[in-house]
Structure 1
Amino acid sequence: MTDPTAGRPYMPGYGIRPEGEGSGLLSWAWALDRLTGSHDYWVASVRPDGRPHVMPVWGVWADDAFWFSSSVGSRKMRNLAERPDCVVTTEDPRDPVVLEGRAEVTSDPAEIAAFLAVLNTKYAVAYGVGFLDPAVNATVRVGPVQAIGLLHTDFRGSPTRWRFPRGGPED
């Protein structure tokens, strides 16, 4: 994948500086460092009645997407089955990356095995493929639409929005 397109996010009322001022636009490498290095992530989904739902998960950034697993009967999976659009955030609220995307469940054995290998390495665990039996635990790929990141040390001069080629709604 080529790097996403970077620009300033729309943040009225916060005095956000133009792209060439302050820290300037953050690099996609900066965002990838946070997406791969975060230990925990927050996944936000929407219940069928429109109420929000947020839960922490372990996850990995691999193959240009965010991956996690969850029980097929969990609230987040039932939400994502109805409305696959979701938000994933890194664990650091001071220098965050907030990723908007679309969740897709895979039952492809090769994709599940690849996710499991990266997960086992990252978290120093030894889950077997039976742990991700698609009838019990879903393997989820969140394909990115856009992401926003910023530095707490330069709130007005660092906000960056990355848009991915797959596109999506603007704002």
Structure 2
Amino acid sequence: MPGYGIDEGEDGLLEWDMVLGRLRDSHNYWLVTVRPDGRPHAMPVWGVWLDGAMWWSSSVRSRKIRNLRANPACTMTTEDGRSPVILDGAAEIVTDGAAIRAFLEATNLKYDAGLDIGFLEPSVNATVRVAPREIFALEEARFVQSPTKFTLDGRANPTTKPGG
């Protein structure tokens, strides 16, 4: 973040495991998609971190699903503005039955939701997987030292660097 007063060294950068914990533990997530006319659209969603991606679901008729069908680029953030995690990636609508069942199990475990597989009938609700390209995180209390960007390229360990 040149010119923003952020350290450019690596002292104080956040650890991947801590950031991953925030992604897993957040109760709600803000999802930002792009409308066909270019305006942003933000909505809260429940989500789970599963197999290296964020997963969530919504009605196939919802604005967010219609936006993603036209443009899969999206941003998801955790709900904590003091220690946020921001994930930029591309969404895909999942149709594989085994993957949908795994998402349903993870959702029921996390939210104690009691949902059954009928809830995720693809003609009614879309199951979405957002594969991250970049994840940015910081801590408000250590604003100058903590901004950390992780670049993911399919490897098990993301590349880490200062700033945004």
TM bin, normalised by shorter chain, reads over 0.9
Identity %: 54
CA offset digits 1:41-71 (Å, max 9, x no partner)? 0000000000000000000001000000000
CA offset digits 1:6-40 (Å, max 9, x no partner)? xxxxx23311112234xx21111011110000000
| Correspondence 1:73 to 2:61 | yes
Q: Per-residue deviation at 1:166?
A: 4.6
Using the alignment, how far apart are the partners of 1:31 and 1:134 within structure 2? 31
- Give the corresponding residue for 1:12: 2
TM value normalised by structure 2: 0.92
CA offset digits 1:102-128 (Å, max 9, x no partner)? 000011100000000000000011100
Q: 2:133 aligns with which of 127, 142, 145?
A: 145
Superposed structure 1 runs of 4+ greater than 6 Å apart? none
Q: 1:35 aligns with which of 15, 23, 43?
A: 23
TM value normalised by structure 1: 0.88
Q: Please, what is the CA RMSD of the aligned residues?
A: 1.3
Q: 1:127 aligns with which of 111, 115, 122?
A: 115
- Give the corresponding residue for 1:54: 42
Three-state SS of the structure 1 residue aligned to 2:115 is: coil
- Give the corresponding residue for 2:160: none
Q: Figure out how many residues of one structure are paired with residues of the other and give that number.
A: 156
- Give the corresponding residue for 1:3: none
Using the alignment, how far apart are the partners of 1:113 and 1:63 within structure 2? 13
